[in-house]
Chain A
Amino acid sequence: MQISYLVIALLLLTGVSYFWGRRRAVSLAKGEHLVVLHSLPSFHGAYVALWCGLPALLLVALWMILEPQIVEAVVINQLPADRAILAISDPNVFKLLLTDIRNLASGNIVSQTIDPALQAAANSYMRYEAISQQALFLVALSMAIVMGSFARTRLSQRFRARNRVEKIARWAMMTASLIAILTTVGIVLSLIFETIRFFDKVPFDEFLFGLKWSPQMAMREDQVGSSGAFGAIPLFAGTFLITLIAMVVAVPIGLFSAIYMSEYAGPTMRSVVKPALEILAGVPTVVYGFFAALTVAPFFRGAGESLGLDVSSESALAAGVVMGIMIIPFISSLSDDVMNAVPQSLRDGSYALGATQSETIKQVILPAALPGIVGAVLLAVSRAIGETMIVVMAAGLAANLTANPLEAVTTVTVQIATLLVGDQEFDSAKTLAAFALGLVLFVITLCLNMVALRVVRKYREKYD
Chain B
Amino acid sequence: MSVAEQLENSGQPEKAVERKSKVIGKDITVHYGEKQALFDVNLAIPEHQVTALIGPSGCGKSTFLRCINRMNDVIDGCRVGGELTVDGVDIYRSNIDVVELRARVGMVFQKPNPFPKSIYDNIAYGPRIHGQASGRGEMDEVVETSLRRAGLWDEAKDRLEEPGTSLSGGQQQRLCIARAIAVNPDVILMDEPCSALDPIATARIEELIDELRERFTIVIVTHSMQQAARVSQRTAFFHLGVLVDEGETDQIFTNPKDERTQDYITGRFG
Contacts and interface: CB of A to CB of B under 8 A. Distances in A.
A348 B129 contact: no
A187 to B, nearest CB: 40
B129 A349 contact: no
Contacts of A146: none
A350 interface: yes
Given A345-B111, A348-B71, A348-B74, A363 B125 contact: yes
B113 A353 contact: no
B126 interface: yes
A180 interface: no
A367 interface: yes
B115 interface: yes
B113 A354 contact: no
A351 B125 contact: no
Nearest to A462: B116
A2 interface: no
A364 B115 contact: yes
A356 B99 contact: yes
A198 to B, nearest CB: 48
A351 B74 contact: yes
A346 interface: yes
Nearest to B69: A352
Given A353-B106, A363-B125, A346 B113 contact: yes
A355 interface: yes
A53 B69 CA distance: 69
A359 interface: yes
B115 A349 contact: yes
B130 A354 contact: yes
Given A345-B113, A349-B109, A354 B176 contact: no
Interface string B161-203: 0000100000000001001100100000000000000000000
A356 B73 CA distance: 12
A437 interface: no
Contacts of A353: 102-103, 106, 125-126, 129, 179-180, 183
B91 interface: no
Contacts of B106: 352-353
Q: What is the interface of chain A mostly: helix, strand, loop, or mixed?
A: helix
A350 B179 CA distance: 10
B100 interface: yes
A368 interface: yes
Interface string B99-119: 111110011010101111100
Contacts of B180: 352-353
A349 B116 CA distance: 12
Nearest to B176: A349
B89 to A, nearest CB: 16
A243 B133 CA distance: 44
A367 B125 CA distance: 13
A343 B99 contact: no
A367 B107 CA distance: 22
A462 to B, nearest CB: 7
Interface string A348-376: 11111111100100011001100000000
A368 to B, nearest CB: 5
A346 B74 contact: no
B38 to A, nearest CB: 19
B58 to A, nearest CB: 19
B192 to A, nearest CB: 13
A355 B99 contact: yes
A350 B99 contact: no
Given A345-B111, A348-B71, A363-B125, A354 B116 contact: no
A352 B102 contact: yes
A352 B71 contact: yes
Contacts of B76: 266-267
A266 B129 CA distance: 26
Contacts of B165: 462
A448 to B, nearest CB: 25
- Residue among A266, A343, A353, A363 with the most chain B CB within 10 A? A353
A353 B178 CA distance: 11
A41 to B, nearest CB: 46
B183 A368 contact: no
A356 B130 CA distance: 10
A355 B129 contact: yes
A374 B230 CA distance: 49
Given A348-B71, A354-B126, A368 B100 contact: no
Nearest to A349: B113
A364 B111 CA distance: 17
Given A348-B74, A359-B129, A354 B115 contact: no
Interface in B93-151: 99-103, 106-107, 109, 111, 113-117, 125-126, 129-130
B183 A348 contact: no
A350 B115 contact: yes
A349 B114 CA distance: 8
Contacts of B114: 349
A270 to B, nearest CB: 12
A359 B128 CA distance: 11
A399 B115 CA distance: 50
Contacts of A347: 74
Contacts of B101: 354
Given A345-B113, A352-B180, 14 more contacts: A266-B76, A346-B115, A346-B116, A348-B113, A349-B113, A349-B176, A352-B71, A352-B102, A353-B106, A353-B129, A353-B180, A363-B125, A364-B115, A368-B116
Interface of B: 69, 71, 74, 76, 99-103, 106-107, 109, 111, 113-117, 125-126, 129-130, 165, 176, 179-180, 183
> Which 4 pairs, one residue from A and one from B, show the smallest C-beta to C-beta distance?
A354-B103, A352-B107, A354-B102, A345-B113
25 contacts: A266-B76, A345-B111, A345-B113, A346-B113, A348-B74, A348-B113, A349-B109, A350-B115, A351-B102, A353-B102, A353-B125, A353-B126, A353-B129, A353-B183, A354-B103, A354-B126, A354-B129, A354-B183, A359-B129, A363-B125, A363-B129, A364-B115, A367-B117, A462-B116, A462-B165
